[in-house]
Amino acid sequence: MKKRLLIALTPFLLTACADKDQYQAAVLAHIEKDQKLQEEQHLKDYKIEAARLAKCVVDTSGNKMPGIFPFDPTRLTAYRHYTKMLTLSASPDPKKTLEELRTDFGSGKALAEANSNFTESMLECYSAMVSETEPDAK
């Protein structure tokens, strides 16, 4: 019985991991492409790795996404929508994609909240990583 359940759930779990991985790849690409962030002296001084920052952002923003647990279908849908949001500038028709995003998220306000969640997560992770590398003030 357990084997059958595992076999039945395997395709779902693989798809779930793929959605999260695609979102993490989009976050990493966003970090690497962002010139202002790349020129930030703190990234150089504190040797913050882009991949580690991306993982932190995915985890932090994921906590504020819809869905109860990481592999919840609504969370997986949110990962897809966030990935689409981050790749908006690479879209062949950004206006059309923006309208699709408004529909995907349910409203312009929900899209703005998702963008805010992403930005806040970036700042939280960036701040946490900088403070981790600072020597303790004693």
Which tens digits make up the pLDDT trace of 42-62? 666 777 888 999 999 999 999
State the pLDDT at residue 43: 63
The answer on pLDDT for 119 being more than 90 is: yes
Q: In terms of pLDDT, which residue wins out, 60 or 30?
A: 60
In this prediction the pTM is: 0.78
Please compute the mean of the pLDDT values over residues 89-98 and round it to a whole number. Answer: 90
Q: How would residue 10 be classed by pLDDT, with cut points 50, 70 and 90?
A: very low
State the pLDDT at residue 6: 41
Q: What are phi and psi of 14, to 5 degrees?
A: -65, -40
